[in-house]
Structure 1
Amino acid sequence: MPRLLSPLVLALIGLILFGDGVYIHAKAWLAQVLLERAFDRSLATGEMIKPWSWADTWPVARIEVKRIGASAIVLEGVSGQALAFGPGHIPQTADAGERGVAVYAAHRDTHFRFLRNVAIGDVIEITRRDGKQYRYRADHADVVRSDAPGIDPSTQSRELALATCWPFDAVTSGPERYVLHATLIETGE
């Protein structure tokens, strides 16, 4: 009996862990569908539209890297709850297109998984919820400590920084962050 029970227990544990992984990715996918709808309504109405009634955040922008087919809706703030559903706009940083650095952060295994495929020179398009569009060129990337991100908030240029945990294939969090820096090249205001 114990010989039969051990494989069954291990199979059950494996199934639970697999289901947990599928649940995380399914939640991220469904959240992006609901966020897309809320963002489209924000564009149409000019109002802040929450993606679901109990949400403590709202969509503020869409990030697109068309060369690799990547797109994500950005939420206001970077609380743990917000980052569970999408990239977040770090408070007290510039909005896309404004003077300073607009900083967006997300998890490396869901919403910013595509950063590993962004090449220097790629165009990153940002559409704000007010409909204004901005195009940035990826200039360089850094791997930095989380307590020293290498972002100059006092810059007078118009920049974008996309930040996520490093390394991309790690299973646990660590002290390092990958930061992709980009410079504004075109406005569609």
Structure 2
Amino acid sequence: MKKYLPIFIIIAGLVFIGYGVWEVVDISHKTEQTLDEAKLALKSPSGKNKGSDKEEFKPKFGEAVGILEIPKINAELPIVEGTDADDLEKGVGHYKGSYYPDENGQIVLSGHRDTVFRRTGELKKGDQLKVKLPYGSFSYEIDKTKIVDQADTSIITLQHNKEELILTTCYPFSYIGNAPKRYIIYGKRI
């Protein structure tokens, strides 16, 4: 039995690695598919996100609603309504109850650190972020970043006093397993 133990460990390791690779490929495929849906929604105002009029913009959960562009890292990411696990597998999730551009409130977008927000640690104060929706394109400039404990919910205030874009992801970026902290990026409208 002892002579088969190393073979069993190697096989178990290969299965574990294979599963991890399959997950990354699957999520990447879902994100690309959702990006295509988001581009279609932007081109076709009469499509599933209804009109190009802001008042008609009422996305459903799980629906591709727009695109988040991050020029510094050459990223074009689909924005999905909702932040459930299924939604975040498709792209950047728009937090339920938060606002959209031109609604004078807190816009909260979340994503996984090992998929869509893999390179957000490279972003610095002054870098640009762009949100494209069926009713317009909106530019933001990063004005600060912050690292908080994973249980800290004070970031999401859902304030309705001024427009601000907030990106959230887990931290540290290279952590294996459930990360103990959150990386927050604040953007102001320009």
Distance 1:113 1:184, change over 3 A: same
1:135 to 115, 135, 139: 139
SS in 2 for 1:38: helix
- Write out per-residue CA displacement over residues 125-157 of structure 1, whole angstroms, 9 at most, x where no aligned residue: 1111x1510110001011123333424422522
Query: Larger deviation: 39-48 or 145-154?
Result: 145-154
Q: Contact (CA 8 Å) 1:62, 1:126: kept in 2 or not? A: yes
Structure 2 CA distance for aligned equivalents of residues 140 and 27 of structure 1: 33
Residue 90 of structure 1: how far off its partner (Å): 0.2
> How far apart are residue 26 of structure 1 and its match?
0.5
Structure 1, unpaired ranges of 5+: 50-54
Q: Distance in 2 between matches of 1:119 and 1:24?
A: 30
Residue 109 of structure 1 aligns to a residue whose secondary structure is: coil
What is the one-letter code of the residue matched to 1:166?
Y
Q: 1:45: Cα distance to partner?
A: 2.2
Contact kept in structure 2, 1:89 and 1:105, CA below 8 Å? yes
- Aligned AA for 1:156? N
CA distance in 2, matches of 1:43, 1:70: 17
1:52 matched to which residue of 2? none
SS in 2 for 1:64: strand
2:116 aligned partner, one-letter code: H
Shift of 1:91: 1.0
1:96 counterpart = 2:95: no
- Matched with 2:71 is 66
TM-score normalised by length of structure 1: 0.86
Q: 1:171 aligns with which of 173, 176, 181?
A: 176
Unpaired runs of 5+ residues, structure 2, are: 50-59
Residue in structure 1 matched with residue 52 of structure 2 by the alignment? none
Normalised TM-score (structure 2): 0.85
**Structure 1: which 4+ aligned runs deviate by more than 3 Å?**
none
Q: How many residues align?
A: 178
Contact 2:95 2:108 in 1 (8 A): yes
Cα distance in 2, alignment partners of residues 21 and 149 from structure 1: 33
Identity, % of aligned pairs? 25
